[in-house]
Every structure is written in structure tokens, then in C-alpha cells.
Structure 1
Amino acid sequence: MARKALILIEGHTSIGPLYVRAAQRRGLYPITMSTDPTKYDYLAAEGVEAVQVDTNDLDVMKSVYSRLKLTHDIAGLTGFSGDESVYVAVGKLCRHFGLPGPDPASIEQCHDKFVQRQVLEHASIPIPEYRVATNATEVESAVTEIGLPVVIKPIGGSGSSGVHMCRTVEEVAEHTRHLLGGRHMWQAPPRILVEEFAQGQYFTTDMMGGRVVGIGTGDFGPPPHFVYREYSFPAQLSDDENARIADASLSCLCALGLGWGPAKIEFRWTKRGPVVIEVNPRLAGTPDPELIQLAYGVDLVDEHIKLVIGEECDLRAQHSHTASARFLAPDRDGMLERIEGAGRAAALPGVAEVKMYVHPNTPIVRKGDYRDLIGHIIAASPTPDQTAALLQQAVDLVSWTITPSPND
């Protein structure tokens, strides 16, 4: 009898292992198709079959899928990667082979942040004022029209890469030079989004199959960058605030055609109420799935796999706790000499995970995005105050030493 397989396009260092284990618990045999499988350490560690294939070539992937189908009973196909084009390819492959999956056209328009904003604006969904620019002169003109401060970011990308808040014209010029001067990696001709800085508390909505699973809140490290500092579920909201964010989230999915599968929507609560910052047509990486499971008892990865293989998902909350993550970020560049206390922090009752992303003797060069983070701690308890105290206790136990580089 052919093994029942789940095809995973590319991988993901944080949630990739979660998908592999969830698939195996369901009796599925995970197979990863990747341009370079060696990028994902967990594939070898978990003994996952990997097929090397150019995932930028849709026809080649169709051929490999057809070959795998001869020897496996393929239950479904999905994928994830830092390269957003993977999500579009997943949708196209699912359509071609008649598998459950997202609409590739909806995914494609969502990944272009300018097109996404045009769609949301047309649907009368509150968003920041915005312009698109291709050169320094157009950026300067956009800033003049919108007014400072502004957020300047590439049209595509994730993880806050290339995203910068500018308070002065000098900062605008400097960041524009950074983006256009060869230091930022573009996958297409450069296009820059210039938008109003929406001042207010940050919220996110995690969704699955067109339904709101949870609304969280978070904050960031010091500007001008947007590097996560802390993240919690559920956000402490009034019934009215909760309803307004949930309604805006559902309106986004309707406008963008994202009713199937996972989505993550980011907001700022401004004087206008909830303003949409970004809609991501995918499951967020760590720590969202872990926090959702701790807070509500809903396994988003497993529920997504259910949809992928044609089953119905069950998003009913099993309990109501508060789960929070604190990200660990260095305050300087240099050589990371030591990390201490992670084991003691992990041993605290209520601490769900202490994970370090780097090891001692690693050079630290901060980029102003997700790559600056060196670890995280997750804690959960029945109440917000208890979780906050527990998380701080765990954070206080972890320390590290960074020595300056010789040239500093």
C-alpha cells in the first residue's frame, strides 16, 4: 500500500518542525521539496525525506509531484518560506492538481504591499495614507504629501526587513540610499512604499479558514526599527474593541479573497480605531502557533493540515489562559561570548519554552529586523498578571556577554 504523504514546499526554521511532527501524528509521511534542503537542519534531524528541486520553476515542481504520485498516496500539499513567492507556487500547484489550497491570485496580490493597500482602500477599510516610489525624488515627494513621520519599506518582503520609521528628511534620505544603493536585496525592480506612521497600540489577528482564532498584542524595540520585543495572547480588549478588530479582519479577508487557510493581520489602534498595517496570507512563524495553543488550546498547525488534506478544522477554544513571549535581542554588535541561565529559566513552572537561536562564539551584527533576535522565552498561566511576572522572572535568569569587535 502506498504511503499517505504530505508534500511541503520549502521549509521554515521555526514552524517547519511543527508541520513535520503534526503530519507524522496524523499518520502522514512528510516529503519536502526544496531548492536546497540542507538549509533546514530539522529535515535531517527528523529523518524527513527531501527532494532537491528548483522551487522557482513551477513546471519542474509539477513534474516532481507527478513522479511522487506514482509511489505515494498524496493527501495534500502546502509550504512555507521566507521567500513569499513560495505561497503563490503552493496555490498554483494545488489548483493544477485539484488539491485544497489558497487562491494563487489572491495570494499574489496580497504579497505586493502596494496592490494590497489599493484593494483595501477600494473596500473602504482603514489603512495608513500611502504612496509608491521607485527613486529618491519620488520618495521625497511622497513624504512631502504625507508628512512626517513616515514608514518606508520595500513593496515585498517579511520580517521587517528594510522597514524603517523616519522622523526627519535626513532619515528619509539616508534610508532611501540604503534601500536603493545596493545594500538591500531586491527580488524585482525596486519599489518603495512610503506610508503614514500609524501611532497606536499594535494588535494582530490570527485566522484560519475565514474565522478569527485569536487577537494578540505586542510591542517593539526602540525605533526606527520594528523588531519584536514582546507578544501576548489574548489582547486585553473591551468587547467593543474586540468586535471592531474582528470585523475589520473579516473585511480584509473578504476584500482580498483570503477565505481559505491561515492569515495574520496586523493593526494599530489609532484615533480612527483599528487601522490595518498589513495582511499576511499565511500562518505566522514562531511564536504565534505556540502562543495560540497555550492561550486557547487550538493547534493552528494541525488545523491547517486538516484543511490541506480536505478535512474540516475545529477552532473551538479549549481553555482561556494568557500566553506571552519575550524576544531576546542584543544591544550591541560584537562577539557573543557566552549565554547563561537558559536552563534555569526553562525549569520554572509555567515557562513553556526557552529557545536560543545562536550559540556562543557567534558574531553579532544587527540588521534592524528579525535577524537581530537571539532567542525567546514563552510563558503561560491563567491570568495576565501572573504570566507577566513569570515571564519577567524567566528573562531575568538569562544573560549573555558580547565583546566589542576589534575594529569598534
Structure 2
Amino acid sequence: MNEYIIYIGTNQSGSPRDGIEAGKKLGYSTILFTNRRKFIRERELFQDVDEMYEVDLRHEEEIRREISTLQQEGKKIACIISFLDSYVYVAARLSNEFCGTDISLEPIADCMDKTVLRTKLTGKEYSSDFIKMDPPFSKDGVKTFSYPVVLKSPVSNGSKDVLLIRNQDELTAGIKKLKRKKPPSLLVEEYLEGPQYLIEVVIKERKPVITVVVKQQIDYHKRFIVTGYSVSPVYHHPVLVRKVGEIVNDLGFVNGSCHLEMRLVKNKWKLIEVNPRISGGAMNKMIEEAYGLSIVEETLRVYLSKPHHSERKWEKHIYTYYMTVNKTGKLLKVIGKNMAEQQEGIIEVYIKPKNGKTLRPPTSMGHRYGYVMASGESVQESERRAKDASKDIQFYLESI
């Protein structure tokens, strides 16, 4: 009998879309619930989706009705999953309920609120100092910190609501800016100086079965924007890998997946944040290129109780450079993509926006407009190739 995987939400490309392709590869039929009418209109672009339904994903009752209808039609649903921040928790909960999967819900919920996460891990060696600010957001508690500090909304993602604060005036302005979105609280954290790493983890029966370490290059343009990712076995520090195992255990993960961001500060590993899903964008693709491993496929194997393929098929140095623009304007054309693709070691050149789209300097990760992925004989060579090829690409903008 044919079995189905239901995906709650997706993107046109990147890790969430890779997750659908992985389901097909594992031999399942795929069903997508989406609230994006554009996807319904452009149905032909989703050849990896067997059935697509327009569902108001803001209302859980509507999602439940659709699942029940599919089951009443005789469809056997193997699992329900989402690789998007907004729906990862509800998908896991519904999967446990409707499909009998055994995904750890409490750690996912804790990761969805950065204040809850920080509070849960208070006192751990890898935790940093923080203050929770409740409305009306008095600055009094911040006096115990020395600047710079980081001010963030506890429920944001993609760097949109994460601000570097260097003094009292910037704190006042930052609180005013973030208050507009009516957050339940604000979080002030000590600013940690040091190289930053992203760690993808897949956990099965309390054991991290996959751990992949990725070094990040971060630029600060009003927000913390990651413009470079380097995947290489040279970053697989045993102390870091052990620390990651300790953190996922402290969080209570039995079955699931997450990615952590950590910094090496004065020779100690410090936790920046945890997100209960694979990182978006090209993350799955770059790890596949580096090691022959698919994080989205291994996550599905946890949901489906299938054996893991955790051995690396090969080891390569991969660098992905993300492109941004330095002024606001309407996109007229992009040139140089073909030239960039022909450079040595280039794996993929991806341009996200279509002509006519308004581009702007980055204030969130969503304002990265494409990437160049390259391999090399060393970390340095893969980085140089990606960055050199990106210089061939030009975004022509009309001022608005």
C-alpha cells in the first residue's frame, strides 16, 4: 500500500524543498499543505509534490480537518513534517498524534522561544549571561552589563530582530524599534566575541547520529547577516562535538533534529541559539556536496523509524558565498551567472529574485539574493573560488 508524507509549508528552493525530494527518494508519495497561492498557481514547478492542497496554516483545526479527510479517503499517512520555523512544532505534534511517531515535542517548544531556552539552560558552562525584559521594557537591569550587548526578540528568526547595541542611546532606539512588533518580552544577552559555527544535528534515541559542523562568516549591516558558510572536516573539533551532545541532552531531545549556533570565546564553547529544524537556504545541498549526507533525509528517517545512513561517503571542502546589494532598487537584470558557473570548482550559482523585484540592503537573512557554491582542495581554495566567481555577477537596479 502506498504511504504518504504530509509537508506543512515549503519554500520554492532550499532545505524545505530538499525535504520533499528526500521523501520521494525514500519511496513515499508526497502531500503539501500550503497557504501560498503562488505555489498553487505555479503547480507545474512542484513535480516532486504528488498532491497539493491550499490550507490556512494559521489555524490548526483546518490542518486537522484536511489530515482527517485524507485518512478517511484511505490514505496511510506515515508522518507529518515541516522544515519551516513557523510549523515545525505543530507538524511534529500532529505527526505524533495521527501517525504514532515519537518526536520530542518539549525541546522543540523550548527552542521556539529564546527566553525559555536561555532560562532552561541557565547556569550551564556553555550558557551566556542574559536578562529578560518584560513590558514596558525598563532598561534598569541592563546596567549590570558592559556594552556591547545583543538585543533580540525571543520569537524572531533569520536575524530580523537581533540588534548589536553599543551604548545607552542605541539600547533606547533598539527597544523602541522592537516594541513595534509587540513582542511578549525582549532578551538582552552579553555580546560574545569569537568565530561562529553552525552545527546540524540529527538525534535518534537520545544519541546524535549525525553531527555536521559548518563555519559561518558573519557581516554586520544593521543586523547580523551570514554571508559565508564553510563545510569541511577540519572544523569537526571533538570538544565541540561533545559539547553539542551535552546541549541536546540538556534540552531533552530523544528523537528529532536541530541546528545550534556556537562561538569559541576565549577557548570555551558558548551557545548563541538553537533552532529545532535544519538551517534554511543551501545548507542541505552544501552538506551533501561535502559528505554525501542529506540532513533532511536523515530527519525523515527519524520520523519514519528507518535505519540511518550516517557514514560520510566522501569528504570535501565546500564554501557557499551569499550575495547582497548595498542600495535599494527594482531589479532590472542580473548578468554574469553563466560566466561564474564556468569558473573552476563551481558547483552551483543560484539567483533568487526575478526581474522587477525590489531589492534592498540586508536587514534579515531573507535579503540575501543568491549564492555561489564552490569546492576546492582546501578550505581557503573553496572560499576563494566562490568569492571570485561571485564578482562576475552583477545586479542592475533601478533606483526607487
Aligned to 2:161, the other structure's residue is in SS state coil
Structure 1 365/174 Cα, relative in aligned 2: closer, same or farther at 3 Å? same
How many residue pairs end up in the alignment? 392
- SS of 1:269 mapped into structure 2: strand
Structure 2 residue aligned with 1:52: 54
Aligned pair partner of 2:194 in 193, 197, 200: 200
- 1:156 equivalent in structure 2: 155
For structure 2, list consecutive stretches of 5 or more residues without a partner in the other structure. none
Q: Deviations over 1:326-372 (max 9, x none)?
A: 00011122233331101221233421111111123322234511122
Contact 1:217 1:235 in 2 (8 A): no
- By how many angstroms is 1:42 displaced? 6.9
Query: Which residue pairs with 2:383 in the alignment?
Result: 388
Per-residue deviation, 1:100: 2.3
Aligned to 2:185: 191
* Shift of residue 33, structure 1, vs aligned partner: 1.8
1:62 equivalenced with 2:64 (yes/no): yes
Superposed displacement of residue 394, structure 1: 1.1
Find the aligned partners of 1:314 and 1:42 in 2 and give their Cα distance.
34
Q: Secondary structure at the match of 1:221?
A: strand
Instruction: Tell me the residue number matched to 1:219.
Output: 217
Matches of 1:136 and 1:367, distance apart in 2: 29
Equivalence map 1:351-390=2 (5 Å): 351-366=346-361, 368-390=363-385
What displacement does 1:314 show?
1.2
Q: Does 1:75 align with 2:104?
A: no
Mapped contact 2:341–2:348 kept (Cα < 8 A): yes
Matched with 2:266 is 271
> 1-side partners of 2:149 and 2:261: how far apart?
17
- 1:161-186 deviations in Å (ceiling 9; x for gaps): 11110112111111111111x3x3x5
CA distance in 2, matches of 1:365, 1:176: 23
- Cα deviation per residue 1:245-267 (whole Å; 9 max; x = unaligned)? 11111111111112322210101
Q: Distance in 1 between matches of 2:99 and 2:297?
A: 21
Consecutive unaligned residues in structure 1, runs of 5 or more: none
For residues 109 and 303 of structure 1, the distance between their equivalents in structure 2, rounded to whole angstroms, comes to 22
Alignment partner of 2:310: what SS?
A: coil
- Could you tell me which amino acid in structure 1 is paired with residue 66 of structure 2? V
Deviations 1:182-223 (A, max 9, x none): 3x3x5xx53111111111101111111223421111111235
Aligned to 2:133: 133
Q: TM-score, normalising length from structure 2?
A: 0.91
Aligned counterpart for 1:303 among listed residues 276, 279, 298: 298
The alpha-carbon distance between structure 1 residues 381 and 334, as it changes in their structure 2 partners (threshold 3 A), is same
The answer (yes or no) to whether the contact 1:95–1:101 under 8 Å persists in 2 is yes
Partner of 2:313: 318
Instruction: Give SS of 1:274's match.
Output: strand
Task: Give the letter for the 1:78 counterpart.
Answer: I
3-state SS in 1 of match to 2:273: strand
Alignment-derived partner of residue 122 in structure 2: 121
User: Would the alpha carbon gap of residues 342 and 28 (structure 1) be closer, same or farther in structure 2, given more than 3 Å must change?
Assistant: same
Q: Which amino acid aligns with 1:29?
A: S
Aligned partner of 1:116: which letter? L
1:375 is matched by which residue type in structure 2? G
Seq. identity, % = 19
Q: Is the 8 A contact 2:84 2:277 kept in 1?
A: no
After TM superposition, list the pairs within 5 Å mapping 1:34-49 onto structure 2: 34-38=34-38, 43-47=43-47, 48=49, 49=51
Across the aligned residues of Structure 1 and Structure 2, the Cα RMSD in angstroms comes to 2.2
1:343 is aligned to 2:343: no
Contact 1:17 1:42 in 2 (8 A): no
Contact residue 323 and residue 381 of structure 1 kept, 8 A: yes
Instruction: Note the C-alpha offset of 1:106.
Output: 1.9
